[in-house]
Amino acid sequence: MIQLLLASEREARPWKNGGGVTFDVASFPQGSTLETFGWRISIAEVASDGPFSRFEGIDRSTAILRGEGFRLVFGDGRVETLRLDAPALAYPGDVATDCTLLAGPVRDLNVMTRRGIYRHRLTRVSGEISTEGEVVLVCPRGSAAITTGGTKVTLQENDALVLSAPRFHSDAPVWLAELLPV
């Protein structure tokens, strides 16, 4: 399966806590809600400091797509700084998380999986890649040509591509969300 998801076709929705806006990229099952998804991928616009929405029973990963980044302070005392071009940060979605922007607004990529049902990895990749299960690729900026099974698809900034059991080649860095049943 190959499914192209264009950034230009996404609609903004308010965050669960009302503190910003998000754009749904993909979720499973299709049409699921925040309470019923097995996995969910979204892009958020973070324009000001404040708390992240809490998601009980959810594991999250976040990567910066645009902007300097932010510092996250977790309810368990952990502090992490996430910057543009840094690896994604994995953390539990049910721990209180407070965000402080480093230098202005940020666009971030979020992958969430329901604990005990799915697990995920979010990594930046390019070149020849082999994965298992369903994956979603997101182009962080510019464009990326993805080739799989003789099919070539060009992603523009924030476009996404859903692939099942892929072996693919990317001519530019893309974010790879691997979504695996537990």
CATH number of 118-181: 2.60.120.10
Query: According to the model, what pLDDT value does residue 134 have?
Result: 87
Determine contact, residues 141/80, Cβ cutoff 8 Å. Answer: no
Q: Mean pLDDT, to the nearest integer, of 11-28?
A: 86
Q: Where are the alpha helices (DSSP H) in the chain?
A: none
Minimum mean pLDDT range among 12-21, 34-43, 87-96, 147-156: 12-21
Domain boundaries, the chain: 11-114, 118-181
CATH number of 11-114: 2.60.120.10
| CA nearest to 174, candidates 151, 158, 152 | 158
Q: Mean pLDDT, to the nearest integer, of 117-122?
A: 96
134 vs 180: CA distance, rounded Å: 7
Structure tokens at 132: 């298992």
pTM passes above 0.75: yes
Q: pLDDT tens digits for 63-106?
A: 999 999 999 999 999 999 999 989 999 999 999 999 999 999 99
CATH fold match for the domains 11-114 and 118-181? yes
Indicate the burial class of 79 (C-beta count within 10 angstroms; 0-12, 13-18, 19 or more). Answer: exposed
150 vs 68: CA distance, rounded Å: 37
Query: According to the model, what pLDDT value does residue 160 have?
Result: 98
